[in-house]
Amino acid sequence: MPYVAYLFNSKDKLKEDLIEKVNKIKNNIDKVKSLYGDDNKVLIKNSAIIDLKEALILTLNYLAILNDSKKVNEYKDKIIEKLVYIKENKILTIDQYRDTYLLLKQILIE
Amino acid sequence: MDTNLQYSYQIPDLKTRFQIDFGNIIEQIVELLTYSDVSTDTRTFDNEELKNKLRAAISYALGLLASTSGYSMSEKIQRDVLTAKNTLIALFNAIIIKPQLTYIDLLDIYFELIQKVSIILNYGTPIPQPRTGNYEIT
Q: What is the pLDDT of residue B45?
A: 60
CB B36 within 8 A of CB B45: yes
Q: Tell me which of B120 and A56 has the higher pLDDT.
A: A56
Is A4 among the domain residues?
no
Element (H, E) at B71: strand B71-72
Preferred mutation among B101, B104, B115, B119 to probe A, highest tally of A CBs within 10 A: B115
Closest-CA distance of chain B to residue A33, Å: 26
| Angle, CA B83 vertex, CA A77 and CA B115 arms, to 5° | 45
Average pLDDT over residues B35-50: 64
B98 alpha-carbon distance from chain centroid: 21
Structural domain containing residue A81 = 11-109
With CA atoms as reference, report the closest residue to B66 among B82, B54, B51: B82
Amino acid at B57: A
Residues A12-43: pLDDT tens digits? 889 999 999 999 999 999 999 999 988 888 99
Average pLDDT over residues B50-62: 90
Is A33 among the domain residues?
yes
Mean pLDDT check: name the lowest of A73-82, A90-99, B95-104: B95-104
User: CA-to-CA distance for A4 and A11, rounded, in angstroms?
Assistant: 12
CB B103 within 8 A of CB A87: yes
Best-predicted range by mean pLDDT among A66-75, A91-100, B63-72, B97-106? A91-100
Average pLDDT over residues B14-39: 81
Q: What is the pLDDT of residue A34?
A: 92
Structurally, at CATH architecture level, domain B3-126 sits in Up-down Bundle (1.20)
Model confidence, pTM: 0.83
Task: Answer whether residue A73 shows pLDDT above 70.
Answer: yes
pLDDT band for position B78 (cuts 50, 70, 90): confident
User: CA-to-CA distance for B104 and A83, rounded, in angstroms?
Assistant: 9
B123 alpha-carbon distance from chain centroid: 14
pLDDT band for position B109 (cuts 50, 70, 90): very high
Residues A54-65: pLDDT tens digits? 999 999 999 999
What does the mean pLDDT of chain B come to? 76
Chain B residues inside the 8 Å CB shell of A60: 107, 110-111, 114
A25 alpha-carbon distance from chain centroid: 7
Phi, psi of A38 (to 5 degrees): -95, 20
Q: What are the Cα distances from residue B67, in Å, to B11, B51, B55?
A: 9, 24, 18
What 3-state DSSP class applies to B38?
Answer: coil
- 8 Å CB contact of A76 and B111: yes
Residue in B30, B118, B122 closest to A57 by CB: B30
Task: Answer whether residue B35 shows pLDDT above 70.
Answer: yes
Instruction: Tell me the DSSP string of A44-92.
Output: E-THHHHHHHHHHHHHHHHHHHH--HHHHHHHHHHHHHHHHHHHHH--E
pLDDT band for position A67 (cuts 50, 70, 90): confident
- Asked if A50 has any chain B CB less than 8 Å from its own CB, the reply is yes
For chain A, the domain total comes to: 1
Number of neighbours of residue B65 by Cβ within 10 angstroms: 19
Q: What is the pLDDT of residue A71?
A: 93
Q: What is the pLDDT of residue B93?
A: 93
Q: Tell me which of B42 and B51 has the higher pLDDT.
A: B51
